[in-house]
Amino acid sequence: GAGVSQSPRYKVAKRGQDVALRCDPISGHVSLFWYQQALGQGPEFLTYFQNEAQLDKSGLPSDRFFAERPEGSVSTLKIQRTQQEDSAVYLCASSTTGGRNTGELFFGEGSRLTVL
Amino acid sequence: KNQVEQSPQSLIILEGKNCTLQCNYTVSPFSNLRWYKQDTGRGPVSLTIMTFSENTKSNGRYTATLDADTKQSSLHITASQLSDSASYICVVSGGTGFQKLVFGTGTRLLVSP
């Protein structure tokens, strides 16, 4: 596609429910990132994929958060047993470059999660 | 700790006026510094990327400067337009780990008619 696509754009979950957020990066982009953005704050790093390999997951806040990119394209961020503090916008970004050389990032519009 | 601090937190200016946003960072080692524009409810969009050797970079009415010695950057917006109303986020690439970017909390700019 022309840009990074995320779905759903908005998700309301009851506390304790599991949610799955999807990211379709720009075709051919090697790197994929997930970020969490709280209201009025800058994005916080969650995890990084180079193709299908999850090379860095140091930003995941707890073991309730899980991300995968099994075929090196589409990625899913799953949050189990959601808590109110998980309420945030989850941004996905992709880049043509891999490894430690950070290229230009293209962001999706984000998935806004509200946990009641 | 790797940090990026931006000032002011928010700013209101009249349409047509200029403004300058500031960014200070402590990220080390340093790779590059980026400025992003984020409209409300949208993802960030890249304005400029500067490496260590670049002092200034322009993108239309946006001009970014970088002083790697003092670890400071600024984003100057010329002849502001209503569509410039957004959050402007300074992001520094570096530190350790794979492609880890450190984001500032942003400056929220409102351009008033």
pLDDT digits (tens, 9 = 90+) for A34-69: 999 998 889 998 999 999 999 999 999 999 999 999
Query: In whole angstroms, what is the distance from residue A60 CA to residue A49 CA?
Result: 13
Residue A107: closest C-alpha in chain B: B43
Task: Judge contact between B91 and B36, C-beta under 8 A.
Answer: yes
Handedness of CA B41, B59, B32, A101 (dihedral sign): positive
A43 touches chain B (CB under 8 A): yes
pLDDT at A1 > cutoff 60? no
Confidence at residue B90, expressed as pLDDT on a 0 to 100 scale: 96
Average pLDDT over residues A24-37: 94
Confidence at residue B111, expressed as pLDDT on a 0 to 100 scale: 97
Query: In whole angstroms, what is the distance from residue B18 CA to residue A108 CA?
Result: 29
Query: Average per-residue pLDDT in chain A?
Result: 93
Q: Which one-letter amino acid corresponds to residue B5? A: E
CB pairs under 8 A between A and B: 61
Residue found by looking up tokens 């960072």 in the block = B25
pLDDT at A7 > cutoff 80? yes
| pLDDT tier for residue A2 given thresholds of 50, 70 and 90 | confident
**Which runs of E-coded beta strand occur in chain A?**
5-7, 10-13, 19-24, 31-37, 44-50, 53-56, 65-68, 75-79, 88-95, 106-107, 111-115
Distance from CA of A85 to the nearest CA of B (A): 18
Q: Do B106 and A42 touch (CB under 8 A)?
A: yes
A2 touches chain B (CB under 8 A): no
A96 touches chain B (CB under 8 A): no
Higher pLDDT, B100 or A26: A26
Which B residues, 52 through 111, put their C-beta within 8 Å of a C-beta on chain A? 89, 91, 93, 97-101, 103-106
Handedness of CA B97, A99, A37, B75 (dihedral sign): positive
- Please report which helix (H) or strand (E) contains residue B22, including its range: strand B19-25
Task: Judge contact between A12 and A66, C-beta under 8 A.
Answer: no
* Total residue count of chain B as it appears in this document: 113
B10 contacts: CB under 8 Å, gap ≥ 6: B107, B108, B109, B110
- The stretches in chain B having pLDDT less than 50 are none
Residue numbers in A near B97 (CB within 8 A): 56, 58
